[in-house]
Amino acid sequence: MPQTIGILAPAGRDSSVLADILRKSLMDCIECSDAQELIHALDHRRAGVVIVTEEAFGRSELEALIDWLKNQPPWSDLPVLLLTKRNGNAVLQANLAASLGNTTILERPFYPGTLVSAARSALRARERQHEAENFIAQLAARERELSEERRRLARSEGRLREANEKLGQRFAEALAEKGVLADIVEGTDAFVQVADVNFRWLAINRASRDEFERIFGVRPEVGQSMLDAIAHMPEHREAVREVWSRALAGEEFTEIGEFGDSERDRRFYEMKFNTLRDARGKRIGAYQFVYDVTDRLRDQEKLAEAQTKMHEMAKLETLGQLTGGVAHDFNNLLTPIVGALDMLHRKYGEDARARRLITGALDASQRAATLVQRLLSFARRQHLETRAINVGELVRGVEDLIRRSIGPHVDVVVKVEEGLPAAKIDPNQLELALLNLAVNASDAMSGGGSLRIEVGRRPLAEGEIADLPAGSYVRLAVIDTGTGMDEATMQRAIEPFFTTKGPGEGTGLGLSMVHGLAAQSGGKLQLVSSPGSGTTAAIWLPVFEGAADPLSALQADVPPQPRSTVILLVDDEELVRRATADMLREMGHEVIEATSPTAALKLLEERSDVELIVTDYLMPGMRGNELIEKARELRCDLKAVLITGYGRIAADQPGVARLSKPFRASDLAREVARMLSAEVVQLPVRRHKRDS
């Protein structure tokens, strides 16, 4: 599938500038002079994402592109990056974006990194759409196979119908003779029944006898009333009477219905009813041809569900990619801010007014960093780290956020048991889970109510809660006075994509994420609810026998360095690189700066005195972990610190310290000191083919 970006930017050098930015990030581009050339590239699948400028559209060009977008196949939702002017007409820009559909607006001027991030997100979203296309094609192929099977059955039914028409015309004579037509009816796999106007069976083939006995436990006989045969099953008797009454009254129809005793088997059947007449044309009963269509209906339902889920997954993936990209860029902006404030705090800490102002700015930066971590958690790009924490302390820390999130119509009460033991879980994910539960509870109390959050230690006996062994647990419960859930909703509550909210109001992933977090932490999500009695959602976590880690691990003091050394610093973001270099030089180290992985490898070949490499993770052309591997091919004793603002990296590498953006000088100094004090971790050198 195409991974090329179509560019329509006719003003000045806009098109070539945009293409240069994207090509430097290893993305293919097609520069189009007008809308027709762009549409031609889309028609021939040479472009998978479109970047257009606001001024590119005259009326005819806009209509042509909108017509193309309207005629996309069902799986397709072409991502469009619309570049607008900062002081342009906001209403016209919004209308233009709405006309183009799946549009991301980038206001000019912007950082090249923002364009690259948005383009990569759009390409990944387009790739997922093509995956959905392939998946739907496979399901469609299966549907074609089922259609062919239905056509085969229809042809068979047609042959039987032809035979049965003759049987109906000569039914009085046919009862007295055993001929070819009776053999066909008896031998078919269709369920054939004939009844008079009093519901008595006049004829019934072997397949129908067997099926009737299988689902009702009664074997039918010619001359017997079908209603009397199942008189001991009033519910099923009424269902049979209702459908046959229509046929015996002269109605000819085809209908799908569900029949059978639930303790035996219930199946879906396609029933075709026709009127039975004697030789003089008088209506004397009715007959039916029946096929079991349960598997066909299930396949159709699975196809519809799969298409719906693929569409939801594509939307969530796009949203997650955009969120992760924004969080990454925001971390890059926060890093030099936090670093500069940290240096100012140490330099002017003796001045009370300066200390107060700088401390306030640092606190605000820390809250911004926490917000970024929550964004990364939502985008599922956060590095997950379980550690022993005090759940009660965590709940107290997010109490204000919960109150602000659910609004004043709900009265929030928090009760935390004193002397709580620790539990092991990812604190960021637990915060997100608690917020999800609180918002769900608030939605169930739209007219107001009470929300109670309780944290306490609880002993569990064996078998008291399914799938939880006996022992001591920390129980975090969110209790509301809302509408509650019935048993059917409770059974499906934690299913991914299941939601009782209206279209566009919920993803159906909140409770499934909480359930997964509890299970992965060795615990369980327990739901207790009934209609009109509210809901209790409790997270049970095994008690950790040990002390809890502090929730805030930041240390303001910069630890001393074991020695001064030469450090190679690699980062393509100038502001981040400059701030990091200042921190390292203030620690007493000599710093060599490189703007790209390629430049860093060249410097390593020239400087044999480099002991430590400090590198960003996400850079054009090569990621930080890949750079470390290639650097160790040159110097197997090289130590490394990997810095990331993206959250989730491919895997932890032996002998490599990991530092998340934004960081303070104390965080960086601690990791550098730890690496300089650690023993050298030598890894096997992966040689290139030309060296073998």
Asked if pLDDT for residue 8 goes beyond 50, the answer is yes
Percentages helix, strand, coil for the chain (3-state, rounded to 5) are: 45, 20, 30
Tell me the C-alpha to C-alpha distance, in Å, between residue 513 and each of 163, 380, 497, 540.
Answer: 59, 11, 11, 15
Q: At what angle do helices 427-443 and 352-378 cross, to 10 degrees?
A: 70
Asked if pLDDT for residue 190 goes beyond 80, the answer is yes
For 543, the token pair is: 């008690």
Percent of the chain with pLDDT over 90: 20
Beta-ladder partners of 536: 479, 528
Find the mean pLDDT for residues 647-666: 72
Split at pLDDT 50, 70, 90, the class of 692 is very low
Find the mean pLDDT for residues 465-483: 90
Asked if pLDDT for residue 687 goes beyond 50, the answer is no
In the chain, the domains with their CATH numbers are 4-127 (3.40.50.2300), 170-292 (3.30.450.20), 391-544 (3.30.565.10), 566-691 (3.40.50.2300)
Cα-trace Rg, the chain: 35
At residue 508, the pLDDT reads 45
Find the mean pLDDT for residues 263-267: 87
At residue 376, the pLDDT reads 57
At residue 631, the pLDDT reads 93
Q: What SS3 class is residue 443?
A: helix
Digit-coded pLDDT (tens) for 55-82: 877 767 778 888 888 888 888 888 888 8
Percent of the chain with pLDDT over 70: 82
Instruction: Name which residue leads in pLDDT, 196 or 664.
Output: 196
At residue 636, the pLDDT reads 87
Distance from C-alpha of 685 to C-alpha of 121, rounded to nearest angstrom: 34
* Nearest CA among 103, 99, 130 for reference residue 118: 103
Digit-coded pLDDT (tens) for 386-430: 789 999 999 998 888 788 778 788 899 999 999 899 998 888 788
Find the mean pLDDT for residues 431-437: 83
Instruction: Name which residue leads in pLDDT, 471 or 370.
Output: 471
Do 51 and 72 contact (CB within 8 A), yes or no? no
At residue 613, the pLDDT reads 95
Distance from C-alpha of 170 to C-alpha of 125, rounded to nearest angstrom: 65
Do 666 and 557 contact (CB within 8 A), yes or no? yes
For 639, the token pair is: 């130590």
Q: Which of 114-128, 276-290, 577-591, 609-623 has the lowest mean pLDDT?
A: 114-128
Asked if pLDDT for residue 553 goes beyond 50, the answer is no
Q: Which residues, at least 6 apart from 266, have a Cβ–Cβ distance to it below 8 Å? A: 215, 258, 259, 260
Distance from C-alpha of 100 to C-alpha of 82, rounded to nearest angstrom: 9
Digit-coded pLDDT (tens) for 12-56: 888 888 888 888 888 889 888 888 888 888 887 777 788 988 887
Asked if pLDDT for residue 372 goes beyond 80, the answer is no
Asked if residue 109 has a cis previous peptide bond (ω within 30° of 0), the answer is yes
Tally of CA atoms within 13 A in the half-sphere of 547 that contains its CB: 2
Is residue 188 left, alpha or beta, with left meaning phi > 0 and alpha meaning psi from -120 to 50? Answer: beta
Number of C-beta neighbours around residue 560 at 10 A: 10
* Nearest CA among 79, 125, 75, 129 for reference residue 102: 79
Instruction: Name which residue leads in pLDDT, 630 or 380.
Output: 630
Digit-coded pLDDT (tens) for 207-245: 888 889 898 988 998 989 999 998 999 988 998 999 999
Q: Which residues, at least 6 apart from 538, have a Cβ–Cβ distance to it below 8 Å? A: 475, 476, 477, 478, 525, 526, 527, 528
For 552, the token pair is: 């805030």
What type of residue sits at position 401?
Answer: L
* Nearest CA among 37, 39, 5, 45 for reference residue 22: 5
Reported pTM = 0.40
Asked if pLDDT for residue 543 goes beyond 80, the answer is yes
For 518, the token pair is: 């509890």
What type of residue sits at position 520?
Answer: Q
At residue 48, the pLDDT reads 79
Q: Which of 68-82, 360-374, 607-621 has the lowest mean pLDDT?
A: 360-374
What is the pLDDT of the chain when averaged over all its residues? 81
Split at pLDDT 50, 70, 90, the class of 554 is very low
Find the mean pLDDT for residues 176-187: 59
At residue 349, the pLDDT reads 64
Distance from C-alpha of 339 to C-alpha of 665, rounded to nearest angstrom: 6
